[in-house]
Amino acid sequence: MAPAKATNVVQLLLGSTALWLSQLGAGTVAASKSVTAHLAAKWPETPLLLEASEFMAEESNEKFWQFLETVQELAIYKQTESDYSYYNLILKKAGQFLDNLHINLLKFAFSIRAYSPAIQMFQQIAADEPPPDGCNAFVVIHKKHTCKINEIKKLLKKAASRTRPYLFKGDHKFPTNKENLPVVILYAEMGTRTFSAFHKVLSAKAQNEEILYVLRHYIQKPSSRKMYLSGYGVELAIKSTEYKALDDTQVTTVTNTTVEHETEANEVQGFLFGKLNLLVY
């Protein structure tokens, strides 16, 4: 009897184990059926440094240019640092002009890429110029383009005789006391050496009240990575294609009876007021 009982116990344990494994496998299969959705924008990923500058500009124009002075060649570190280290470096630079509350707001803006559309807006404006071939940065002086710093002085001589450019509300204008000056628009990527070279010359002229210096973001080689957006909900609607047979004779009878009743109630001397109201509305 003892061997028989032992055999039954072993069979029971093996059956329980098989049942547990089958349930575990079913749970794994069910978990693998989850749906993951990503929402990508039509434009490529934009640099965080430029997004940070737009955050600073929203605080004040003065903070924008102060932040710009501290990050003139910051993009160079991106080639040697990891993305996380570069991210912290940007926050450290921004922390010179922001308190802890605004730093946390900047982190949140980074997480949802709130200022990426603003960068893309400037990129589209630059594309409409269009940019000179092979230029990392360029200036536009009253409809004339150049990507050579030594040609700026030449183009400024007859700038007053050419059409003054239209300036947008979101343009970044260097602080100056005079507005009626030749407008020099710089299209460049903040943080690069090319930008720094142009900025030194243009900021000096703006401080001497020779020009009205305007900066617009321009990225010559946009990122190959997609721009993923956050804060959007995705709904997955599954439609049932199963056909069901229903007896609609009773439904039709009730509907016809209801229509006849409404017609009798709304008819006065041949006028159907229900239809008249429908036409009025």
Q: Which residues sit opposite 173 in a β-bridge?
A: 214
Euclidean distance between CA atoms 213 and 228, whole angstroms: 33
Is 177 a member of any domain?
yes
Count how many domains the chain has.
Answer: 1
Percent of the chain with pLDDT over 70: 72
SS3 239: coil
Cβ neighbours around 97 below 10 Å, total = 17
Q: Is residue 156 part of a domain?
A: yes
Q: Quick one: pLDDT at residue 32?
A: 58
Distance between CA atoms of residues 250 and 261, nearest Å: 17
CB distance 159 to 178 below 8 Å: no
Q: How far is Cα 87 from Cα 34, in angstroms, rounded to an integer?
A: 32
Longest Cα pair distance anywhere in the chain, in angstroms? 115
- Tens of pLDDT, residue by residue over 147-192, are 999 999 999 998 989 999 999 999 999 998 888 899 999 999 999 9
163 vs 13: CA distance, rounded Å: 90
Give domain status of residue 6, yes or no: no
The predicted model gives 14-32 an average pLDDT of 49
Range of the domain at 97: 40-228
* 276 — pLDDT class (breaks 50, 70, 90): very low
- Tell me, yes or no, whether 236 lies in a domain: no
Of the candidates 61, 69, 114, 58, the one whose C-alpha atom is nearest the C-alpha of residue 96 is 69
Q: Is the model's pLDDT at 99 over the cut of 60?
A: yes
Residue 30: partners with Cβ closer than 8 Å, 6 or more residues away: none
Q: How far apart are CA 157 and CA 169, in angstroms?
A: 27
Kindly tell me if the per-residue pLDDT of 30 is higher than 80. no
- Name the pTM for this structure: 0.71
- Owner of token pair 């570069």: 86
252, 156, 261, 162: which is closest to 212 by C-alpha? 156
Gap between the Cα atoms of 11 and 55, Å rounded: 69
Q: pLDDT band for position 268 (50/70/90)?
A: low
Instruction: Give the pLDDT confidence of 113-154 residue by residue, as tens digits.
Output: 999 999 999 999 999 998 988 899 999 999 999 999 999 999
Q: What is the pLDDT of residue 152?
A: 95
Binning pLDDT at 50, 70 and 90, where does residue 13 land? very low
Q: How far, rounded to the nearest angstrom, does the alpha carbon of residue 25 sit from its chain's CA centroid?
A: 40
Please report whether residue 244 resides in a domain. Answer: no
DSSP annotation of 33:
T
Is residue 208, in this structure, part of any structural domain at all? yes
Per-chain mean pLDDT for the chain: 81
Report cis status (omega within 30 of 0) of the bond before 130.
Answer: yes
> Do the domain assignments include residue 242?
no
Measured CA to CA, the distance from residue 86 to residue 77 in angstroms comes to 7
Determine how many CB atoms are found less than 10 A away from the CB of residue 81: 13
Whether 257 is in a domain gets the answer no
pLDDT per position as a tens digit, 222-265: 988 888 877 666 676 777 777 767 666 665 555 555 555 555 55
